[in-house]
Amino acid sequence: MSFHMVVGYGPAGAATARLLAEQGHTVRVVTRSGRPAQGGAAAPGVEHVALDAGDPARLAEAARGAAAIHGCAAPPLAQWTARWPALASSLCAAAESTGAVLVMLGNLYGYGPVAGPLTEDLPPAATGPKGRVRAAAWEQARALHEAGRIRAVEVRASDFFGPGVTDGGHLAARVMPGLLKGRSVAVLGEPDAPHSWTYLPDVARALVEVAGEERAWGRAWHVPTAPALPVRAMVERLAAQAGTGPVAVRRLSPALLGAAALFSPLLRELREVRYQFDRPFVVDSSAYEAAFTVRATPLEEQVEATVRWWRERPRER
């Protein structure tokens, strides 16, 4: 077993740290606070350290001896253009200083609007600043990898879905509480457009797998993701599992969305990637599945685990 460092303790970072610890690895989590989110208990076998991941010297010191650095941190959306460059440079510097494999968690913003399924060979063509800065983070790491200065790989996921996901997505805090009570839900974009949802435990499994697979390094991979389903179809499955269906699904009107954005920083920031929800947004993960062992968790298991987690969550507080 080896030492792994996880930078960031949001849903993906927490799931990755837990999985590594369950496999017997020594795990160090780096966050600004040095504490599990919202006062939660630390997972067994996981050490939490407080430091600014944008400080390359301190990050490299914390990573000394690590087999891999898992970059799962991300600034708040409103601060992406200001803070991503420093964070990406610090991760690369720590990987170069220590020799650890840099495993970056990416998303799909960097592709920009695409007609047809998303594949890893598409060029970065983002039309907005968030997509461009996110694509640049991987391009920096890839260039250093090709120069022989670091070993790096990026794992890209679509919208997170599953236990532990509480913000930022169609199927999280804005949908689940009302759905569990049988109330109608309002969603961004076209509720009948096919959309890919990446299951959070599969994200962690992919991040852990590629860290130890030399043939994965030097390029980006899509996390194995179940076939795309529209928001309406996912809500139907969640409501059926919860026993609260059928639940009506309605689209937020542009006027209402514009008004809501005046009060919601998240909605304002999501305007750049609204295209993802207004038309089909489908991830092709066949390249990963042809090369490695992780597969998307069957949808029925995803839905069951997600509903169970949300039902149990209030009792944990």
Condensed to tens digits (0 to 9), the pLDDT of residues 280-298 reads: 999 999 999 999 999 999 9
209 and 131 within one domain: yes
Summarised one tens digit per residue, pLDDT across range 9-66 is 999 999 999 999 999 999 999 999 987 764 456 678 899 999 999 999 999 999 999 9
202 and 246 within one domain: no
pLDDT-based confidence at residue 273 (cuts at 50, 70, 90): confident
Best CA proximity match to 160, nearest among 110, 194, 123, 202: 202
7 and 69 within one domain: yes
pLDDT-based confidence at residue 231 (cuts at 50, 70, 90): very high
- CATH code of the domain in which 71 resides: 3.40.50.720
80 and 177 within one domain: no
Rounded mean pLDDT, 222-244 = 95
Measure the CA–CA gap between 16 and 72, rounded to whole angstroms: 9
Measure the CA–CA gap between 5 and 26, rounded to whole angstroms: 8
119 and 179 within one domain: no
Q: Residue 88: pLDDT above 70? A: yes
Domain housing 102:
3-160+197-225+285-291
pLDDT of 37: 64
Summarised one tens digit per residue, pLDDT across range 161-211 is 999 998 765 677 778 988 999 999 888 889 999 999 999 999 999 999 999
User: Which residue do the tokens 């030492």 mark?
Assistant: 3
Measure the CA–CA gap between 202 and 208, rounded to whole angstroms: 10
186 and 174 within one domain: yes
179 and 117 within one domain: no
Q: Residue 255: pLDDT above 70? A: no
13 and 84 within one domain: yes
188 and 123 within one domain: no
What is the CB neighbour count within 10 angstroms for residue 251? 18
Domain count of the chain?
2
pLDDT of 317: 39
183 and 303 within one domain: yes
Summarised one tens digit per residue, pLDDT across range 137-147 is 999 999 999 99
304 and 171 within one domain: yes
122 and 26 within one domain: yes
State the pTM of this model: 0.93
Measure the CA–CA gap between 226 and 240, rounded to whole angstroms: 19
pLDDT-based confidence at residue 248 (cuts at 50, 70, 90): very high
